[in-house]
Amino acid sequence: MSTALKDVKRITTHVLMQMKNEGKKITMLTGYDYSMAKILDDAGIDIILVGDSASNVMAGHETTLPITLDQMIYHAQSVVRGVTKALVVVDLPFGSYQSNPGKALESAVRIMKESGAHAVKLEGGQEIIEAVYKIIASGIPVMGHLGLMPQSIYKYGTYSVRAKEEDEANKLISDAKLLQKAGCFGIVLEKIPSTLATQVAQSLEIPVIGIGAGNGCDGQVLVSHDLLGITKDFNPRFLRRYADLYTVIKESVENYIEDVRSSDFPNEKEQY
């Protein structure tokens, strides 16, 4: 008998499958550090993605390409320490899996062994399918990522909507099927037309998580810094901001500066 979802103590890949089968939407956000991971986990998020978007929002790089495997492992270790329930998925960074399946497996094993995370995510379909088979054969759960794949930004040239043309849409559908056949437990679809994403989600048995892919997916993912309004200059149509933490933090720091400069802080109650 399957466990009722409300009794679930830990989100596993099996729970995610059960959620899809029961029509329960899956929630996923990025996390890169202990404190944020703890808040996301306490709030009840299903999946925390230690995304290579850490390269942008944590390290200030223009693209996701520079972040290293060691740096991803450091972020993943910090996130895992803050989590008691969510499934922690870690991006394999650019250059750590594309060259050959053996290298891909070594990178995935390092992430699992050194961070304690629960799964890895790779960008691509048919081009990396042997790597996906090899990693899954070793017992490591794999999530796919199709559509806009930021690690290939210099191939595309822009971050615009992908798979609008029939050829690219057909390749995406066939890649999604290949990833499912290889044993992926889920797939992220980034920035593609919602009709295509819905078609993929309805035709696959595994959960499809969208970002800029519309409401027909089995779940949604956003970069937490974007959702919280810590980043300011990134305003794609698909992003809903739930807070303006940039302003909250900036005003708090300005108030602190003023209080220190005017000798208002610390007051008598704030000293020994």
Question: 8 or 239, CB closer to ligand KIV?
Answer: 239
Q: Where are the beta strands (DSSP E) in 82-227?
A: 87-91, 119-121, 142-147, 186-190, 208-211, 219-222
Instruction: Scan residues 16-35 and list those touching ligand KIV (CB under 6 A).
Output: 30
Min dist CB 30 to ligand KIV, Å, is 5
Min dist CB 123 to ligand KIV, Å, is 8
Min dist CB 4 to ligand KIV, Å, is 29
What are the C-alpha distances in Å from 33 to residues 80, 83, 126, 185, 234? 9, 10, 32, 24, 21
Min dist CB 150 to ligand KIV, Å, is 7
Active site residue 190: yes
Question: Using CB under 6 A, which of the segments 19-27, 45-53, 130-138, 255-263 binds ligand KIV?
Answer: 45-53
What are the C-alpha distances in Å from 198 to residues 75, 163, 204, 210? 32, 13, 10, 10
3-class state of residue 222 by DSSP: strand
Instruction: Assess contact for 151 and 172: CB atoms under 8 A.
Output: no
Instruction: Scan residues 46-65 and list those touching ligand KIV (CB under 6 A).
Output: 49, 51-53
Which has the closest alpha carbon to 87: 133, 142, 135, 124? 142
Min dist CB 56 to ligand KIV, Å, is 8
Question: One symbol per residue from 142 to 181: x for binding ligand KIV (CB under 6 A), - otherwise; what is it?
Answer: ----------------------------------------
Cis-peptide, bond into residue 266, ω within 30° of zero: yes
Question: 46 or 190, CB closer to ligand KIV?
Answer: 190
For residue 4, what is the DSSP state? P
Question: One symbol per residue from 189 to 228: x for binding ligand KIV (CB under 6 A), - otherwise; what is it?
Answer: -x--------------------x---------x-x-----
DSSP string, 19-76: HHHTTPPEEEEE--SHHHHHHHHHHT-SEEEE-TTHHHHTT--SSSTT--HHHHHHHH
Question: 15 or 48, CB closer to ligand KIV?
Answer: 48
- Of 22, 62, 190, 251, the catalytic one is 190
Q: Which residues are catalytic?
A: 190
